[in-house]
Amino acid sequence: MGQQFGRRSWAEPWKIKMVEPLTMTSRAQRERALAEAGCNTFLLRSDDVYIDLLTDSGTSAMSDRQWAGMMVGDESYAGSRNFYHLEAAIQRYYGYRHVVPTHQGRGAEHLISRVAIRPGQWVPGNMYFTTTRAHQEQAGGQFIDVIIDEAHDPSSPHPFKGNIDLAKLEALIAREGAEGIAYVSVAGTVNMAGGQPVSMTNIKAVRALCDRHGIKVYLDATRMAENAFFIQEREEGYANRPIAEILREFCSYTDAAWMSAKKDSLVNIGGWLAVNDLGLFEELRNLVVLYEGLHTYGGLAGRDMEAMAIGIEESLQDDYMRSRIGQVRYLGELLADWDIPIVQPVGGHAVFLDARAFYPHLPQAHFPAQVLAAELYLDSGIRAMERGIASAGRDPATGDHHYPRLELTRLTIPRRVYTQAHMDVVAESVKCVWDARGAARGLHMVYEPRYLRFFQARFEWRDRSTGSRTGQEAASHPHPAAEPAPV
Ligand code: F0G
């Protein structure tokens, strides 16, 4: 087989045992549904969606072994045996000493941010993630982006666009001192950059730099198994090392990790924190009782922890990962063959469409990536997600929009759920939307929630000829959107 990806090399190492019917909709139904959803794909009912590429989070198909694991859930309030299975799997595959379960990733982010950030401290990271940054800011921290510049360029072919720029990190340390930095927040693969990996060389160098200054390195391990695949594929010396080993080596250069197990670990709910430092662990284990649940369930049922323990092991099988990334890449290659602008190289969990290149006639304040997600839904019932100005939110200090360089629409591929034929259908729909791109109108936001606005914001179409808000739309929504939100 070798490491070469071709269209014949990555057939899934599983077959289908149970199917779930999909909903087929008409254009008229979709127009109605999108209007009801305020042109926000997060507000659609899943019954109105055909192929759901909103997210890879909690949308995986579990295996028969995981379902069997659900049947041996030990639902004891304290000391569930499934917790010990989970703890052992994390210790074995991720390598950290102490484990605290949480209901999902943001539960873990909340706890680690509260414990590890003092108000006013900086949290440098390889690009922001929405929930991660929100919790860092809630704890009084200030996020600062120290990813390499290539990450902000959709067409840069850099093989490790998730890397931290050591010069940027060093400059921050020189300016603020080690005391002014809570920890370095590293995510593997970087979601908002397009699912782009961090190299082993880079994490080693980050570790060495942080050691010189006594700064901790904490890992968002949410898609770190997928990151390990890219190291195996692209980094010298790793081609013959199993993904599981690469993952463990990478984690060994970090002090702690948090996890949304809803991604890599092939479960529908779950997360954890894992740390090496006993003092930090004791604080986290105490705090989890306040916000999530006792430290041996953290907001999860015993059966969820069992499915997670099994999912961790399945997620690190090389054949599985080859098919996983292969499917995402298959979709990316179909689009690239039609010269449709996508983030290159294709990342781990999704194909990201470059909405700026789709709609150069739309200013960023007209939400081009949201427009693209809406148009795609109207065309075929495929649900994608905005990853641009709406997701970026506002600067807590000034109240202004963040204007990210990347204005992307994410076609996120759930794990073990859709077939290659679905990918063909998706590509053809994107092509139709691409061909009609010149006629697209912008959106304006008519309702803006305070926190993580992209989840619940509502939009309306702008006037086709002038790009301004239509009188009727503005009048029908007396609540303007532009109140500055602190987060
Ligand atoms: N970190 C990363 C890199 C994520 O992508 C997510 C979630 C989280 C943390 C938070 O985890 O959802 O379990 O609370 N990402 C989802 C997505 C929502 O669609 O990308 P969570």
Q: Are residues 165 and 303 in the same domain?
A: yes
Average pLDDT over residues 91-110: 98
The confidence score (pLDDT) of residue 486 equals: 39
pLDDT of residue 396: 86
- Residue of the nearest CA to atom 19 in ligand 1? 55
Residues paired with 341 in a beta bridge: none
Q: Are 413 and 349 in contact (CB under 8 A)?
A: yes
Token code pair at residue 164: 């931290």
What is the pLDDT, as a whole number, of residue 376? Answer: 98
Given 30, 262, 324, 387, which residue is catalytic? Answer: 387
Question: Is the pLDDT confidence value at 156 over 90?
Answer: yes
pLDDT at 485 over 70: no
Q: Are 376 and 432 in contact (CB under 8 A)?
A: no
DSSP state of 396: T
Nearest to 36 by CA among 355, 380, 374: 374
Minimum CA distance residue for ligand 1 atom 15: 57
Q: Residue 352 corresponds to which tokens in the numbers above?
A: 């990201």
The tokens of 280 are what?
């930090």
* 287 and 334 in a common domain: no
pTM of the entire predicted model: 0.94
Q: Which atom of ligand 1 is nearest to the CA of 220?
A: 1
Q: Are residues 171 and 240 in the same domain?
A: yes
- Asked if residue 106 has its Cβ within 6 Å of ligand 1, the reply is yes
With a 6 Å cutoff on the Cβ, whether 131 touches ligand 1 is yes
Catalytic one of 27, 77, 97, 435? 77
How many other CB atoms sit within 10 Å of the CB of residue 202?
A: 22
3-state secondary structure of 257: strand
Between CA 134 and CA 137 the distance in angstroms is: 5
- Quick: pLDDT tens for 363-400: 999 999 999 999 999 999 999 999 999 999 999 889 99
pLDDT at residue number 4: 60
Residues 335 and 351 in one domain: yes
Are residues 309 and 328 located together in one domain of the fold?
Answer: no
Q: Establish whether residue 220 lines the binding site of ligand 1, counting it when its CB lies within 6 angstroms of any ligand atom.
A: yes
Tell me which of 270, 287, 317 is where a domain ends: 317
Known catalytic residue at 222: no
Strands 350-354 and 408-412: antiparallel
Residue 1 lies in a domain: no
Do 97 and 170 lie in one domain? The reply is: yes
Residue 16 lies inside a defined structural domain of this protein = no
Last residue of a domain, which of 288, 317, 346? 317
| 155 falls within a domain | yes
* pLDDT value at 7 more than 80: no
4 belongs to a structural domain: no
DSSP 142: E
Residue 272 domain flag: yes
176 shares its domain with 92: yes
Distance between CA atoms of 27 and 31, rounded to whole angstroms?
A: 6
Active site residue 454: yes
Domain that holds residue 456: 27-49+319-464
Lookup: tokens for 447? 């309702």
Cβ(349) – ligand 1 distance below 6 Å = no
> Containing H/E element for 327?
helix 318-337
Chain-wide mean pLDDT for the chain?
94
| Same domain, yes or no: 241 and 379 | no
pLDDT in the model for residue 328: 98
Element (H, E) at 333: helix 318-337
> How high is the pLDDT of residue 472?
44
Q: Is a pLDDT exceeding 70 seen at residue 314? A: yes
**Averaged pLDDT, 430-436:** 98
Q: Are residues 115 and 230 in the same domain?
A: yes
Q: What is the amino acid identity at position 310?
A: I
What is the rounded distance in angstroms from the CA atom of residue 184 to the CA atom of residue 150? Answer: 20
- How far from 21 is each of 32, 50, 96, 124, 263, CA to CA, in Å? 22, 10, 41, 44, 23
Share of the chain above pLDDT 70, in %: 94
- 113 C-alpha vs ligand 1 centroid, how far in Å? 15
pLDDT digits (tens, 9 = 90+) for 180-204: 999 999 999 999 999 999 999 999 9
| Strands of 142-145's sheet in order across | 98-102, 271-275, 256-260, 217-220, 184-187, 122-125, 142-145
Whether the pLDDT of residue 237 is over 70: the answer is yes
When divided into structural domains, the chain yields a total of 2
Ligand 1 atom with least separation from CA of 187:
3
Q: In the prediction, which pLDDT does 3 show?
A: 58
Pocket test for ligand 1, best of 52, 186, 263, 412 (most atoms within 8 A of CB): 263
Hey, is 412 helix, strand or coil? strand
Tell me the pLDDT tens digit for each residue of 51-64: 999 999 999 999 99
434 C-beta closer than 6 A to ligand 1: no
CATH assignment of the domain containing 388: 3.90.1150.10
Residue 187 CA to ligand 1 centre (angstroms)? 11
DSSP 123: E
Q: How far apart are CA 480 and CA 447, in angstroms?
A: 7
Q: What does the alpha-carbon distance between residue 68 and residue 306 come to, in Å, rounded to a whole number?
A: 9
End-to-end distance of the chain based on CA atoms, in angstroms?
A: 48
- Encode 232-251: b = buried (16+ Cβ within 10 Å), e = exposed: bbebeebeebebbebbbbbb
Task: Count Cα atoms within 13 angstroms, Cβ side, for 67.
Answer: 7
Residue 161 lies in a domain: yes
pLDDT tens digits, 259-303: 999 999 999 999 999 999 999 999 999 999 999 999 999 999 999
Question: pLDDT band at residue 205, thresholds of 50, 70 and 90?
Answer: very high
Model pLDDT, residue 483: 43
* 475: pLDDT strictly greater than 70: no
Quote the distance between the C-alpha of residue 268 and its chain's center: 15
Atom 5, ligand 1: residue with shortest CA distance: 191
3 assigned to some structural domain = no
**CATH code: domain of residue 102:** 3.40.640.10
Per the structure block, which two tokens stand in for 361?
Answer: 């006639």
Query: Ligand 1 within 6 A of 102 CB?
Result: no
Q: For tokens 């692209």, what's the residue?
A: 234
Is 486 within the bounds of a domain?
Answer: no
Kindly state whether residues 111 and 209 are assigned to the same domain: yes
CA gap 84, 483 in Å, rounded: 47
H runs (alpha helix) in 235-317: 243-252, 278-291, 302-315
| Domain co-membership, 173 together with 199 | yes
Last residue of a domain, one of 283, 317, 351: 317
Clarify whether residues 285 and 263 are in a common domain.
yes
